[in-house]
Amino acid sequence: MRRILGVYSASSPHWVGDGFPVRSVFSQTTLGQHVSPFLHLDYAGPMKFAPTDTPRGVGVRPHRGFETVTIVYQGEVEHRDSTGAGGLVGPGDVQWMTAASGILHEEFHSKAFTEQGGVLELIQLWVNLPAKDKNATAGYQTLLDADIPAVRLPGNAGTLRVIAGDYQGNHGPARTFTPINMWDLQLRNGGQTSLELPEGHAVGLVVLRGNIVVNGTEPVRDAQFALLERNGGAFTLDASSDASVLLLSGEPIDEPVAWRGPFVMNTEEELNQAFADFRRGGFGRIEN
């Protein structure tokens, strides 16, 4: 049985721009290679926003050397970037942005959500890229809820959406640079499920809402992260309430991590180059 190595609570809330009240659930800066290939996860909301005329959000900023994954649970955001991609991301949708060689992007509450108000709830995850792909062409994937396989778990325990990777022959639509499973679980109170993931993968459970018990002994609650062993076979989840859980597993990237601000590279020299390229306008522009 794959054991839990630790359970970690999210940080105190802070704002990203004026539109995203977030709690940082885990980070490579504190957990190191234990969470590789994942770097960082912020949980925004749930928070109710009043109607307004001015969209809230985060303005143009650069990235290089990794990917960002945004999963929207409630509300709606709008994305634009320097590849020319963009669009609306609503409940159940996923935005998978590959910064790689360099990208500029911005995210705001959508026009409709701004005018109507409502509850916003989403996560944003940073996923590292191996050195050979850090200078790949920047790109963007829109993964609509309708295109993400949803599987009923045995025993009426809930549902599992396969965003990336594979669950019992159901393949997620996300294209990844390294082997990754990303499963969005909605568990029913009293349900139990057993999950098995590739040996050697880093495995973590992010409980967004609700309460679960792992392997019959380890409680994990709202806004907590459970880090599991890389080996050990299957593990069980018991839901002691209705629960929303994001499962992450990935093949570790056994390379140095150099991280400063919006750039994640392998060396300090590469970080310095990223900042120099950004200052000279090498990341393109976002067209009005």
Q: Which residues, 6+ apart, have CB-to-CB distance to 140 below 8 Å?
A: 79, 81, 83, 85, 86, 95, 96, 97, 98
Cα separation of 223 and 246, whole Å? 11
Averaged confidence pLDDT in the chain = 97
Q: How far apart are CA 98 and CA 140, in angstroms?
A: 6
Q: How far apart are CA 207 and CA 121, in angstroms?
A: 13
Q: So what's the pLDDT on residue 86?
A: 87
In whole angstroms, give the CA distance from residue 174 to residue 164: 5
Left, alpha or beta for 111 (phi > 0: left; psi -120 to 50: alpha)?
A: alpha
User: Which residues of the chain fall below pLDDT 50?
Assistant: none
Task: Show the beta-strand stretches assigned E in 75-179.
Answer: 77-81, 86-89, 94-98, 103-109, 118-128, 139-143, 150-152, 158-164, 166-167, 170-171
Please report the pLDDT score of residue 62 as a whole number. 97
Residue in 261, 220, 253 with CA at minimum distance from that of residue 239: 220
| 3-class DSSP state of 189 | coil
Closest CA to 239 of 158, 168, 151, 167: 158
Query: What is the per-residue pLDDT for 31?
Result: 97
pLDDT over 70, % of the chain: 100
Question: HEC profile for 230-277?
Answer: CCCCCEEEEECCCEEEEEEEECCCCCCCEEECCEEECCHHHHHHHHHH
Picking from 195, 227, 194, 222, the residue whose alpha carbon sits closest to that of residue 207 is 222
Closest listed residue to residue 141, CA positions, set 85, 74, 73, 82: 85
Q: For 185-228, what is each residue's pLDDT tens digit?
A: 999 999 999 999 999 999 999 999 999 999 999 999 999 999 99
Q: Tell me, what's the pLDDT at 237?
A: 98
The Cα 258–Cα 272 span in angstroms is 10
Torsion, Cα of 165, 168, 173, 175 (10° steps)? 20
> Cβ contacts of residue 121 below 8 Å, gap of 6+?
44, 45, 46, 47, 72, 73, 74, 75, 208
Alpha helices in the chain (DSSP H): 28-31, 111-116, 268-279
